[in-house]
Amino acid sequence: MIKIHMELKKLEITARKDIKSAKNLKDLDDIFKKYLGKKGELTLILRSLKNLPIKERKTQGKIANQIKKDLELIIQEQKHKLQASSFKIQDTGFDITVPGKKQDLGHLHPLTLVRRKVEEIFQSMGFSVVEGPEVESEWYNFDALNIPKEHPARDLWDTFYLKQKKLLLRTHTSPVQIRYMEKNQPPLRIIVPGRVFRHEATDAGHEVNFYHIEGLMIDKKGKVSVANFKAIIGEFFKRFFEKEIKIRLRPSYFPFTEPSFEIDINCVNCLGKGCSVCAQTGWVETLGAGMVHPNVLKAVGLNPKFWQGFAFGVGMDRLAIMKYKIQDIRLFYGGDLRFLQQF
Ligand code: PHE
């Protein structure tokens, strides 16, 4: 018993010395192996304890384990010391102890804040977020959406055409409905946030470039109705504006939905009393929607006898304008820090 005790003491003293005199990480690693590695001196002693009578094993084991812990700790300390000094030696021109310059923290653009919020709300209701290309073909932007060539409805979406292959900048996110349904079988629920373009004169309410969020929900005939749409969109507005919002549906026209409607919400600014934001009407038009037109379902090979659903399109800029009470859509794209830093 005395013998092991002495051996341990001796080992501890030499190990401590060795560790303190290690000049680099390689030395230190060798020292670790020498004492604590698989065949290290201390490891062997620890292993041999099992041959001792139980009482002795306990007392010696306690001492040996304590030594092991101590050695591990001072090896760690020595390691940190060596690492810190190797920095100083290598990078002579760089003093790691000088406090750094503070980085200016960026922040999110209001439209990004809105997009994230919308995504979060719809995701919680089981919708997936999907994206599509900004440069589209006439087929996806118009034909597949039941807007044939020469149809006057195309004028609603005047846009920028590219010279090649009848490509254009998409005027809405609706083409992604088609792209998604071509590849995925219903039942399905998606929203599509994205940038869209229109050939328009700009003013406080219009830009040539802005953002839409498309929504699409398709299920077996009889399972998704206008009532479902109204409930979902009502829930969305309530959570987006964080207050009770009245909505109303007005009949409208879109080639890709039938019936179609326009959704107005109670003006968030005056809560329906009438103000300049809502042109004294108390209502603000926010969303186009309807039940997906049978021709659109046919265009992607779905039989309208078995499937039905709703679609909607909402202007992200308009949501942001209402949420943050912004006067002019052009502010979103001007890059003026006095505006952007308010978010
Ligand atoms: N795409 C339409 C627009 O550009 C909005 C919409 C989407 C309407 C889906 C009905 C259904 O205004």
Q: Could you tell me if 286 and 140 lie in one domain?
A: yes
Same domain, 72 and 118: no
HEC states along the chain? CHHHHHHHHHHHHHHHHHHHHCCCHHHHHHHHHHHHCCCCHHHHHHHHHHHCCHHHHHHHHHHHHHHHHHHHHHHHHHHHHHHHHHHHHHCCCCCCCCCCCCCCCCCCCHHHHHHHHHHHHHHHCCCEECCCCCEEEHHHHCHHHCCCCCCHHHHHHCCCECCCCCEEECCCCCHHHHHHHHHCCCCEEEEEEEEEECCCCCECCECCEEEEEEEEEEEECCCCCHHHHHHHHHHHHHHHHCCCCCEEEEEEEECCEEEEEEEEEECCCCCCCCCCCCCCCCEEEEEEEEEECHHHHHHCCCCCCCEEEEEEEEEHHHHHHHHHCCCCCCHHHHCCHHHHCCC
Q: Same domain, yes or no, for 153 and 294?
A: yes
Q: Which residue, 286, 277, 271, is CA-closest to 325?
A: 277
Ligand 1 atom at minimal distance to the Cα of residue 310: 11
Q: 141, 174, 207: which to mutate for ligand 1, most atoms within 8 A of CB?
A: 174
100 found inside a domain? no
Ligand 1: residues within 6 Å at CB?
172, 174, 214, 254, 257, 288-290, 311-313
Return the ligand 1 atom nearest residue 145 CA.
1
Please check whether residue 104 lies inside any domain of the structure. no
Contact in structure between 251 and 260 (CB atoms under 8 Å)? yes
Residues 292, 336 share a domain: yes
Index of the ligand 1 atom closest to the CA of residue 212: 4
Residue 125 lies in a domain: yes
- What's the pLDDT at 89? 55
For ligand 1, atom 4, the nearest C-alpha belongs to 172
Last residue of some domain: 54, 86, 118?
A: 86
Please check whether residues 205 and 329 belong to one and the same domain.
Answer: yes
Q: 244 CA distance to ligand 1 centroid (A)?
A: 25
Q: Looking at ligand 1, which atom is closest to the CA of residue 215?
A: 9
Asked, for residue 143, whether it belongs to a domain, the answer is yes
Asked if residue 334 and residue 231 are part of one domain, the reply reads yes
Q: What are residue 126's phi and psi, to 5 degrees?
A: 90, 10
Tens-place pLDDT, residues 60-86: 889 999 999 999 999 999 999 888 877
Are 166 and 74 within one domain? Answer: no
98 within a domain of the structure (yes/no): no
Q: Tens of pLDDT along 10-67?
A: 999 999 999 999 888 899 999 999 999 999 999 998 888 888 888 888 888 899 999 9
Six-digit token pair at 294? 């049978």
Domain containing 305 — which CATH number?
3.30.930.10
Average pLDDT over all residues of the chain: 91
| Domain count along the chain | 2
Identify the pLDDT of residue 151: 81
CA of 66 to the centre of ligand 1 (A): 73
Measured CA angle at 143 (ends 141, 146), to 5 deg: 105
Question: What is the model's pLDDT at position 57?
Answer: 87
Q: Is 265 found in the same domain as 225?
A: yes
How many Å lie between the centroid of ligand 1 and the Cα of residue 226?
15
- 32, 170: one domain: no
Please tell me whether residues 124 and 68 are part of one structural domain. no
Q: In terms of residue numbers, what domain contains 332? A: 110-340
Q: Do the Cβ atoms of 291 and 258 come closer than 8 Å?
A: yes
pLDDT < 50 positions in the chain: none
Give the residue, by CA position, lying nearest to ligand 1 atom 9. Answer: 312
Q: Is residue 79 included in any domain, yes or no?
A: yes
Q: Which atom of ligand 1 is nearest the CA belonging to 196?
A: 4
In this structure, what are the phi and psi dihedrals at residue 206, rounded to the nearest 5 degrees? -130, 145
CA of residue 260 to ligand 1 center, whole Å? 9
Question: Of 311, 265, 255, 258, which is closest to residue 288 (Cα–Cα)?
Answer: 311
CA dihedral over 159, 161, 162, 166, signed as positive or negative: positive
Q: At what angle do helices 2-21 and 41-48 cross, to 10 degrees?
A: 160
Mutate to test the pocket of ligand 1, among 190, 254, 285 (most ligand atoms within 8 A of CB): 254
- Tell me the whole-structure pTM to 2 decimals: 0.70
Residue 293: name the closest of 76, 147, 140 by CA. 147
Q: Flag whether 68 is in a domain.
A: yes
Residue 96 falls within a domain, yes or no? no
Q: How far is the CA of 256 from the centre of ligand 1 (A)?
A: 8
Burial environment of residue 208 by CB neighbours within 10 A (0 to 12, 13 to 18, 19 or more)? middle
Dihedral over Cα of 106, 112, 113, 119: its sign: negative
* CA distances, 239 to each of 233, 243, 245, 323 (Å): 10, 7, 9, 12
**Distance from Cα 213 to the centre of ligand 1, integer Å:** 9
